[in-house]
Amino acid sequence: MDGATYKVNPREHSNIFSVITFAFNWATLKKGKKQSGLTEDDIYRVLPTFKAETLGDKLQSEWNKIEQTTVYPKLWRVLMSCFGFTYLSYVLIQLIFSSAVIIYQPLVFSKFVSFFQPNHFHDSRNDLYLYGLAIIGIELVNVLFVHNISQLVMQYSLKIRTAVSSLLFRKALKITPEALEEITVGRSITLMTKDVFAIDAALLFIKDMIVGLIQISVVTAILYQRVGTSAFPPVAVIIGIFPIQLYLGKQTTKIRLKMAKYTDMRFHVTQETLGIIKLIKMYVWESYFEKLILGRRLTETHYLQYVYYLKAFINWLGSFSIHISLYILLIFYVAQGYSLEAETLYFVQQCFSAVRIAIMVSIPMGICNTSDLLAAFQRIQHFLDADELNYTRESLEDTEQAKIILDNVEISRSGKEILKHVNIQLYDGLMILSGGTGSGKSTLLKLFNYECNEFTGDRFINGSISYAPAKPWIFPSTIRNNIVFGEPYDETRYKEVLRVCALIHDIKQFDRLDKVMIGDKGMNLSKGQKARISLARAIYRDRDIYLIDDCLSYTDNEVSNFIFKECIKGFLKNKICVLVSNKSEYINEADAILNLEYQSVDRADDLKKRITYYIDEDTDGKKKEAEKITDFHTQSNETDSLLLEDYIKNLKGLYKEKQKEGTVLWRDYHLYYKMMGGLFVFIYLVIVFGISQAALSYSEKVLSLWVNAESVIGNFTTNGTVIIDYKDAIKVRDKYMEAYSTLIIVAMFMSIVQSYSAFHFCLNAARKLHNSVISALIRTSLTFFDSHLIGNVINRLSKDLYVTDEYMPFLVFDYFVLVFNFIGGIIIVATLSFWFFLPAAFILIILYYIQKFYIPSSRSLRRLEASVRSPIIGYLNTILHGLPVVRTCQQQAFVTSEFDSYHDVYSSAFFMNQSALIFFSFLLKLTGLVFVLFIMFDMFFTKSIQAGDAGLVLSQSLMLSEILQYAIRQSAEIENVMTSVERISEYASAEPENTREASNEIEELTGNIKYTNVSLKYPFSSTPVLKELNFEIVEGNKVGIIGRTGAGKSSIISVLFRLFDFDGQITINNVDIKNLGLDFLRSKISVISHDCVLFSGTIRSNLDPFEQYSDEQIWKALSDVHMSSMIESLNKEFNDSDTLFSSGHKQLLCLARALLQNNKIIVLDEATATLDPQTNKLIQKTIEDVFNKCTVLIISHKIDTVMWCDKILVLVNGRIVEYCGPKDLHHAKL
């Protein structure tokens, strides 16, 4: 939470009047208006009833209770048990109130209209005033009730969503590695960013749907009393449409589940791409990964299109049923010989108006949102049912002894035997775990650490455990927080831990020492620093057993030897310590050795002679020679990083995004407008919506003329007028009936056309927006990712994209409908009296100023809501990647508390935004009632108005007041949602890399490389990491580049690949690389990185993503790196978390990539740091055999690994101190 403090929410101490009128929002809106928006400092403290910790505990407790009665509790059952009673009570209260409104509103309205009928003498003018006052009073009470029940349901849905989010996070901390591998981290994040949000809309519309269905029964009874059996045919139509809507809703659920699979796949590939973006650029794979993501997106939007169309048809059926039902009722009523009087018509119309929202909106949207909720519940339920790690780690009692015992343990995975017949009895001391690549060292540590449960045999581990993984897990925070990580701060132990992990000198390089902020995945640290911080975290905990997975491989000899002596053999001397290593000097000092080749545990002296297969015979000699020239390692610069202290120290919050201020720019609206199709689409939509509204509005006018014609016929009957005039009146009435029938049919047809058109063009916009962002992100420079945390990028590509996918189309459609409804209503009213324009103009001015008052706060609150959601996603992503460490450190409660605190900030921002929206809607509704009051006053003093016109004017006025407030609310909501488009489009404008077209004269880069005065200073850093380098690599030479971690070794490679802009000149074949096409340059250099990654896909796609090589060529490359025996098929699917391949195997597969590329320049960047000597020797032999005519650059911090090279370049603090042959280097004065 970055130590942030938040002010008390004014809702906590509001009086009853402030609560029911939502006046507690006034201060927030006033402040937002005054300072043109709100900032994160303006977010209030979360209300106590919305705290994630409380709600998560409540739901978890209920889940545990139900779990005792059934193996797999159902989420809906747990939610009903926790929250069902209160929710159902809201439904009951709304049902009672709305039923009362339905009964009395049509009665009062019809009595008001009947006063204007000819020959009406039953009521006095005072009665007219009372009826008018009753209409306003009912509307006023209804406004108060509807907005308050909406506030209550919003708050309750927020509680439920928060509880489910907290439950999901707690589940994620217990899920087995195998289950997480099947579910994937991408899907886990999708559940939190998309599926849980289905709860909000569903709870609102399900409530309204239940109430609406019962309201229809009430209305049917009322209509029967008034129009007799004519009420049944229209009700039959409405009821008959429900099964169709339900069936379509069920189909929507099925399509949603299919779509969700591709959403997960798209999100997983996107996340994977962002995680390896540097390697993607070095391999020139941008177009492949772009195609991969866009392919997933295309399939996802294909299903989304069907979801749109089904939802549109469900909504259209609701709209169709309300209009066609009214039409059928009138036809049946007249056919039975009744005269259609104004009082009867508007009584019926008000009855239909009372359930119009239910039929047109609540029931269709209830069905749609229920289908979304069911799909979300299925996905969430699948996650909650996943297998858990069921164990506890406890410290020993004083009388107990720590021990590790394995009895005949065997581990298999995917039909492949990983370990067999493992027997261990370890009670104290240091055990070295050694073995070749893929022998199962890391798997065995996972078994010790309870992270592997798929085994046979017996495992007994007594004692608490601490763990340092081979791949360091660093989370965004300070160095101190990464080490202490939830434990009480013990200054004495902490300082000793820093000392024995050789971190003191490194920390002194930062201005803020150990309080320096570490970027995403430790981006501002070197590999060695990350490994030592990971080790420090493990040993800071006072545990009985320490598992250390080869974390010393990333440090140079002097540092690793110091750590082994002071930390492993000294600090942990009285503990059980299992260290993964193949270094002979460590094996000599071990108390016991487990060599996985021999599948046995022996004392070190007994086993030493048997494991020479894994120890390079020449290694010891080379090390002795190398030790003579390691004096330059006395200090570590550690500045080889993208984000240095002078940038990081200014960060206020880890995940805080730069928030835009003011209105959403016109360019963002124009961008979305262009992506929809531009001017042609706009004109097309105006025509389609215009025709539909013209038919619908004119049908209302024709209906009033029909009523007036009925009044004329009634006068003929009363006065006994001649038969000829009577027949003419009948013809006029029939003409209006025919016209009304035609207009209704045209309106309904155009209604479905406009629905499908709007959704289709919005889908195009959503697809293009996503594609443009992905294309920009993949092709932007690496400096972009220095200032944008991956968690923030993921947030925009998940939740913000979800908003543009799911909300924007319906907002655009609603807004078009409302604008044309308003125009149509104004025209109808204006045809009766021009003076109606005056109150309309007055009300529009008031509404404009209300909107102007609301928009600055609303816009900034929506931006804040999106911004403070980033920490939730970023933190979840971080924790899921470090689950073994979190569980071993027993910090589940700590990280849960942190997650809950991030969620509390988001809940507060969401509450502020939604409360302000409801307050805004409340003010608009009250203003609309003033408009109706003006119209009513005008009618009081108009003498010549007919009953049909009076009913039309009043009903249209009520409708216009509703349309006005809803249209302005939707226009404000469009601007709010446009902030998501704004946030996404911001990435679409990310500056691309500086590329050039390749020269046609160059066909190959053969490897003569020359650096001339090359200097590099990373963005946001004031200190150069490379300083005027001058050296030349002769074609075909093998050059080792060595230096302490942070000396600038990897930076030499970065400039060679032009990953960053640099000063000076680099030439290859006497051609300046700045004049070469970027893709051409990078494609001609093969790289094998220390962080070798296999992305999700097949063996073939990983080795040959563009399908340039034949199967024979690929198999030969695999054979050359001795991997062909491990590969069953080139089309076998796997992902990067798959345990089928060890880190060594992955390095060999990366070597096979380089073999296939057949380039003349090869770069190995710490590629052998974590490999056993045998695999290292294999790679070295492959380089000598296959790349004997190539230019090879080998980056290493261990001089003994490059002593075979033609030349060695020694870097210190970004400068070259030696560049000569190994023999000359022996006698160099350093």
Write out pLDDT tens, residues 185-220.
777 878 887 788 888 878 888 888 888 888 888 888
Model confidence at 647: pLDDT above 70:
no
Section 1196-1210 average pLDDT:
81
Section 1087-1092 average pLDDT:
76
- Compute CA distances 698 → 320, 824, 836, 951, 964, whole Å: 17, 8, 18, 15, 20
User: Collapsing DSSP states into helix, strand and coil, what is residue 429?
Assistant: coil
Write out pLDDT tens, residues 284-297.
888 888 898 998 88
Q: Indicate if the alpha-carbon torsion angle 971, 977, 983, 988 is positive or negative.
A: negative
Interior angle at CA 1007, CA 1069 and CA 283, nearest 5: 110
Section 408-433 average pLDDT:
77
% of the chain beyond a pLDDT of 70: 83
Structure tokens at 812: 């655009």
Per-residue confidence (pLDDT) for residue 646, from 0 to 100: 37
d(C-alpha 1069, C-alpha 1085), whole Å = 13
- Percent helix, percent strand, percent coil in the chain, to nearest 5: 65, 10, 25
Terminal C-alpha separation, the chain: 48
Beta bridge partners of 1085: 1161
- Compute CA distances 531 → 472, 538, 569, 579, 915, whole Å: 5, 11, 18, 14, 47
Model confidence at 615: pLDDT above 60:
no
Report how far Cα 323 is from the mean position of its chain's Cα atoms.
Answer: 41
d(C-alpha 846, C-alpha 856), whole Å = 17
Section 929-952 average pLDDT:
68
What number of H helices and E strands is found in the chain? 43, 21
Contacts of 15 (CB under 8 A, 6+ apart): none
d(C-alpha 311, C-alpha 252), whole Å = 8
Per-residue confidence (pLDDT) for residue 962, from 0 to 100: 73
CATH architecture of 1009-1226: 3-Layer(aba) Sandwich (3.40)
d(C-alpha 603, C-alpha 591), whole Å = 6
How many Cβ atoms sit within 10 Å of the Cβ of residue 649? 13
Q: Are strands 1009-1016 and 1026-1033 parallel, antiparallel or unpaired?
A: antiparallel
What secondary structure letter does DSSP report for 657? -
Place of tokens 């029911």: 20
Picking from 139-148, 680-689, 928-937, which range would have the lowest pLDDT averaged per residue?
Answer: 928-937
Per-residue confidence (pLDDT) for residue 617, from 0 to 100: 40
Per-residue confidence (pLDDT) for residue 611, from 0 to 100: 38
d(C-alpha 409, C-alpha 458), whole Å = 6
Per-residue confidence (pLDDT) for residue 942, from 0 to 100: 63
Q: Which run of H or of E encompasses 410?
A: strand 403-413
Write out pLDDT tens, residues 675-696.
888 889 889 989 988 888 888 8
Contacts of 1165 (CB under 8 A, 6+ apart): 1049, 1050, 1053, 1087, 1088, 1089, 1090, 1195
250 falls in which pLDDT band (50, 70, 90)? confident
Picking from 68-72, 269-273, 624-628, which range would have the lowest pLDDT averaged per residue?
Answer: 624-628
What secondary structure letter does DSSP report for 388? B
Model confidence at 117: pLDDT above 70:
no
Write out pLDDT tens, residues 9-57.
888 888 888 888 888 888 888 887 777 667 777 888 888 888 989 998 9
Relative orientation angle of helices 723-779 and 808-832, to the nearest 10 degrees: 150
Q: Where are the domains of the chain?
A: 10-387+664-988, 402-462+583-615, 464-574, 1009-1226
CATH number corresponding to 402-462+583-615:
3.40.50.300
Model confidence at 633: pLDDT above 50:
no
How many Cβ atoms sit within 10 Å of the Cβ of residue 267? 26
Report how far Cα 927 is from the mean position of its chain's Cα atoms.
Answer: 39
Closest alpha carbon to 454 in 419, 411, 497? 411
Model confidence at 720: pLDDT above 80:
no
Q: Are strands 403-413 and 455-462 parallel, antiparallel or unpaired?
A: antiparallel
Picking from 231-240, 390-399, 542-551, 932-941, which range would have the lowest pLDDT averaged per residue?
Answer: 390-399
Picking from 262-276, 944-958, 1005-1019, 1203-1217, which range would have the lowest pLDDT averaged per residue?
Answer: 944-958
The CATH number corresponding to 464-574 among 3.40.50.300, 3.40.50.2300, 2.60.120.20, 3.30.465.10 equals 3.40.50.300
User: Collapsing DSSP states into helix, strand and coil, what is residue 492?
Assistant: helix
DSSP of 298-352, one letter per residue? HHHHHHHHHHHHHHHHHHHHHHHHHHHHHHHHHHHHHHTT----HHHHHHHHHHH
Write out pLDDT tens, residues 429-465.
888 887 776 677 778 888 888 877 777 888 888 888 8
Do 1009-1226 and 402-462+583-615 fall under one CATH topology?
Answer: yes
Write out pLDDT tens, residues 365-392.
888 788 888 888 888 888 888 888 776 5
Higher pLDDT, 775 or 177: 775
- Compute CA distances 190 → 589, 614, 886, 955, whole Å: 49, 44, 22, 45
Model confidence at 73: pLDDT above 70:
yes
Report how far Cα 40 is from the mean position of its chain's Cα atoms.
Answer: 20
The top-scoring range by mean pLDDT among 327-331, 512-516, 629-633, 894-898 is 894-898
Per CATH, domain 10-387+664-988 is 1.10.1530.10: no
Write down the H helix ranges in 1008-1072: 1049-1056
Average pLDDT, rounded, for the chain: 78
The residue type of 119 is: N
Per-residue confidence (pLDDT) for residue 950, from 0 to 100: 66
Write down the H helix ranges in 173-197: 177-183, 185-193
Per-residue confidence (pLDDT) for residue 660, from 0 to 100: 58
Per-residue confidence (pLDDT) for residue 616, from 0 to 100: 40
730 falls in which pLDDT band (50, 70, 90)? confident
Per-residue confidence (pLDDT) for residue 627, from 0 to 100: 40
